[in-house]
Amino acid sequence: MAILGSGIGGSMLACILARHGVSTLLLEGASHPRFTIGESLIPETGLRLRIVADKYGVPEIGWIGTFHKLRKHVSSNCGVKRSFGFMYHRAGEENRPEEINQFGTLTPPAGPDSHLFRQDTDAFLAALSVKYGATFRSQTRISDITFGDDEVELRAASGETYRAKLLIDASGMRSMVSDQLGMRDEVPRFRTDTRTIYTHMMGVRSADLLLDPKGRRNLISPLGQSTMHHVFDGGWMWVIPFSNHRDATNPLTSVGLMLDRRKHPDPQGTPEQEFRRVISAYPTVARHFAEANAARPWVRSGRIQYSSPHLIAPRLIQLPHAAAFIDPLYSSGMSVLVVAVDLIAESLLKAVAENDYATERFKFMEDVVNRGFDHYDTIVSGSFDSFASYDTWNAWNRNWVMGSLLGTFGPLSLLMHYHKTKDRSYLEKTTEPSRMGVLGSHLPGVVDMARASRADMDAAIAGRITHKEASERIFARFRATDFLPPYMGFGDPRKTATATFTLIPGARHVTWYRMHGDPVYRDNCTFPLMTYARDGATFVLGEARDAWRRSFSALRDVFFAHNSDWRHIAPALAEHGELVTPVPASAPSAEEPAGLDGAEAPRSAASATGVG
């Protein structure tokens, strides 16, 4: 099997295939570690990573899916994510504290989520693929690809030739396969139309310091431990800190500005000049970056959207970001990727066993991914339209919260049932049509609500109704829905944090769906609460045990130089697959921009990976 690209998607798939005995060659045109954007996980993604880990027997993939294991086993350079935070801004005005929206992520034992320092996580997974038996070749640029009836031939610039029965294109936005086969739409089909400016910065203050003590008391969790968004008419910014927990070792913050090209069509000055000019219009944002400086070269793009009608062709499967991309808003690109990896791995293992690589085997994956992208575009494009006023933004974002809530409950339910019973049939359910969607795109009620809200936004844009009227219609529709708990306040404009997921509120959500949900939502949104509580207790005891061990080791080392730790560590790590060491981060390269929201780093047409 040939895999072109060693980012998260390509490396994860290489680990799974090699783990199951498939001859796999992972080829990378660049080298690790490398700078890549796509750094924020969401609850649905983290849960699906853990399910994939259990389903395919690669436990290390699950470490990426939850902050505490990521910090312990992979890298302390990653940050914690306890919520999504949004501050709305008007030009020339300070943020109004009542116009801060939050959506909490999962808490232990299922969470919290993470800010991935991709230099470390991607290098870890690429190295891990070797541990499971894949052949990994970095700095191997593919110059030509030939698709035959029975195999694919890849020729490297160095003169080497590789042959494989099937090619998996994980090379991201600058896919040479897409260019060679003309797979992409000439004009992207998505309504979203944005460009970006981004970098890593030093000296970015915690967003909590932008508020007075009273304002901070109204938050469900610290803004500095969220994926922070500054929202304004014409665009939004991400602020992703890696130094936001007590064990942090990384002083960097990922910062990016997304601009609506309808209102910011052309670049103005250098990337940093344009960044500073835009934020200077919003006093609270300007204060946030008053002491911040770029730690690597700025990157600026033209339109970032691209789309493809197909992700499969004879002897070819593309991972999602080789085929399409929308916008990093809501960080859902990685969820699309993990869904696709699960579907591809399941189908490919059967195809290898039967030596049958017919494209029909993979059609379901293509349909699921395209449906997910189209729903995601509805949510994102509607968000950019809603930024015109806080009324519409406050109403519209409930569509995303709804999808995120229900999209999270599905995999969480499967994982908890599996933990209770150890019945692998629960892991196999992840690829059932009724469970395969991103942001709830597999649930008709969610899709219908988003489409109706989209119609209200279109009416406001066309001037048939006011933005205030559009928001009132959206809120009224949420108040009338029967598949969302009324106490969450989806229909209440004053309730700007609609859900939290600590143990007691989480139990309340599950209980409501047991008592009031119809069969579809009851199956999707309920799970054994005692198992969840047991997992929580196990997590607490494990953290306490680790703390005791560190304290004991520190006391011992004060008095003794010798120890026998290696006798206990090495066998345990070998047994559980923990001997792979992350490649340490190095100074990033400024030669090429990196991909967004889970996309692989863009490369020249000669860059590539994979064979087997």
* Domain stops at, among 519, 547, 563: 563
Residues 258-278 pLDDT 10s:
999 999 999 999 999 999 999
Number of domains in the chain: 2
User: Quick one: average pLDDT of 267-294?
Assistant: 97
Does the structure show a pLDDT above 90 at 217?
A: no
Q: Would you state the pLDDT for residue 216?
A: 87
User: What mean pLDDT is reported for the chain?
Assistant: 90
In order of 28, 170, 174, 181, 316, the CA distances from 341 in angstroms are: 19, 11, 20, 22, 14
Confidence band of 611 (pLDDT split at 50, 70, 90):
very low
Does the structure show a pLDDT above 70 at 596?
A: no
In order of 72, 224, 255, the CA distances from 209 in angstroms are: 29, 9, 17
Residues 300-351 pLDDT 10s:
999 999 999 999 999 999 999 999 999 999 998 899 999 999 999 999 999 9
Residues 83-109 pLDDT 10s:
999 999 999 999 999 999 999 999 999
User: Quick one: average pLDDT of 38-66?
Assistant: 96
In a domain, residue 242? The reply is yes
**Long-range Cβ pairs for the range 545-552 (8 Å, 24+):** 546/72
Does the structure show a pLDDT above 70 at 44?
A: yes
Strands laid side by side in the 152-156 sheet? 142-147, 152-156, 161-164
Does the structure show a pLDDT above 70 at 578?
A: no
Confidence band of 37 (pLDDT split at 50, 70, 90):
confident
In a domain, residue 312? The reply is no
Q: Would you state the pLDDT for residue 502?
A: 87
Does the structure show a pLDDT above 80 at 61?
A: yes
User: Quick one: average pLDDT of 146-157?
Assistant: 94
Confidence band of 215 (pLDDT split at 50, 70, 90):
confident
In a domain, residue 360? The reply is no
* Domain stops at, among 300, 324, 355: 300
Does the structure show a pLDDT above 80 at 389?
A: yes
Q: Would you state the pLDDT for residue 569?
A: 67
Q: Which CATH number belongs to the domain containing residue 269 in this structure?
A: 3.30.9.100
Residues 428-444 pLDDT 10s:
999 988 888 888 888 88
Q: Which residues pair with 294 in a beta bridge?
A: 201
In a domain, residue 559? The reply is yes
527 versus 609: the higher-pLDDT residue is 527
* Domain stops at, among 284, 300, 316: 300
In a domain, residue 208? The reply is yes
Residues 488-513 pLDDT 10s:
999 999 999 987 888 899 899 999 99
What is the rounded CA–CA span in Å between residue 337 and residue 319? 7
* DSSP classification of residue 29: S
In a domain, residue 426? The reply is no
In order of 228, 534, 567, the CA distances from 105 in angstroms are: 13, 20, 39
Q: Would you state the pLDDT for residue 582?
A: 36
Q: Is residue 317 helix, strand or coil?
A: strand
Does the structure show a pLDDT above 60 at 593?
A: no
Q: Whole domain around residue 534: which residue ranges? A: 529-563
What is the rounded CA–CA span in Å between residue 236 and residue 256? 9
In a domain, residue 249? The reply is yes
Largest CA distance in the chain: 79
What are the helix and strand counts (H, E) for the chain?
Answer: 20, 19
565 versus 467: the higher-pLDDT residue is 467
Output the CA torsion sign for 169, 172, 173, 176: negative
Does the structure show a pLDDT above 60 at 579?
A: no
Q: Would you state the pLDDT for residue 34?
A: 87
In a domain, residue 382? The reply is no
